[in-house]
Amino acid sequence: MQIFLDTANVDEIHQGVAMGLVDGVTTNPTLVAREKRKFRECIEEICSLVDGPVSAEVTATDTEGMIREAREISSWAENIVVKIPMVPEGLVAVRRLTEEGIRTNVTLVFSANQALLAAKAGAYFCSPFIGRIDDIGEDGMEVLSEIVSVYDTYGFETQVLAASMRHPHHVREAALIGADIATVPFKVFAQLARHPLTDVGIKRFLEDWEKVEDLV
């Protein structure tokens, strides 16, 4: 499973890239707004830091506006994937952009039916928002599992990008279900490598090592 960072913060991206474990980046309007930078400048810098796909989202709500924005955004760098919201206008835009060779990430997906339509429209990525499904008392992982199963059954090439991942348990579940990608906030990314027993184990090994002399 690939791991993307879900952030527009270049310091976080620098740290993740330095570990050699970041396969791509996803952003959204909220994450970019948080950085208080010009949209284009921010996305171009992220694209220069990461070899893999970088998702940047349109803000238009009509098909023609989405297509216009998507053409502009996709011209900023080779590795951009344009995020299009999962609405009927968006699906029309995805179909047309796919025909033009522009890769899309259908975002704000909350059901297997929506994911089915995104794939039929030709989306490159489909992003179910797991945490936000959990937030309303439903089961995000069940939806993710249904999407993976539908895509496998019909051989869709659209990649399942598990988004809105709030904690390491989400990542583990997404990996077990077979999501192609999990996009995670930096905090969750940093947590993935940690386990209290690893820390205790290292401490104990070092203590034992110091009790004896002349081992090396």
Which active-site residues does the annotation give?
83
Write out the binding residues for ligand E4P, residues 42-71 only, by CB under 6 A.
Answer: none
The nearer residue to ligand E4P, 95 or 132, going by C-beta atoms, is 132
39 binds ligand E4P (CB under 6 A): no
Check residue 26 for interaction with ligand E4P (CB under 6 A): yes
131 touches ligand E4P by CB under 6 A: yes
Residue pair 43/76 in contact by the 8 Å Cβ criterion: yes
The binder of ligand E4P chosen from 9, 63, 74, 127 (CB under 6 A): 127
The distance of closest approach from Cβ of residue 215 to ligand E4P in the complex, given in angstroms and rounded to an integer, is 48
Return the amino acid letter for 121: A
In this structure, the dihedral spanned by the alpha carbons of residues 86, 125, 11 and 134, taken in order and rounded to 10 degrees, is 60
| Residue from the set 9, 28, 114, 145 that interacts with ligand E4P by CB under 6 A | 28
| Interaction of residue 164 with ligand E4P, rule CB under 6 A | yes
Closer residue to ligand E4P, CB minimum distance, 55 or 145: 55
Asked if 144 is part of the footprint of ligand E4P (rule: CB under 6 A), the reply reads: no
DSSP strands (E only) in the chain: 2-6, 24-26, 54-57, 80-85, 104-109, 125-128, 159-162, 181-184
Question: Closer CB to ligand E4P, residue 114 or residue 164?
Answer: 164
129 binds ligand E4P (CB under 6 A): yes
How many Å is the Cα radius of gyration of the chain?
20
Tell me whether residue 167 or residue 204 sits nearer to ligand E4P (CB atom).
Answer: 167
List the helix and strand counts (H, then E) for the chain.
11, 8
| CA–CA gap between residue 4 and residue 83 (Å, rounded) | 15
Between 160 and 213, CB nearer to ligand E4P: 160
User: What region does 3 belong to: left with phi over 0, alpha with psi -120 to 50, or beta?
Assistant: beta
Does position 114 interact with ligand E4P (CB under 6 A)? The reply is no
Q: What is the C-alpha to C-alpha distance for residues 8 and 83, in angstroms, rounded to an integer?
A: 14
Vertex 5: Cα angle to 154 and 43 (nearest 5) = 100
What does the binding site for ligand E4P look like in residue numbers (CB under 6 A)? 6, 26, 28, 107, 127, 129, 131-132, 163-164, 183
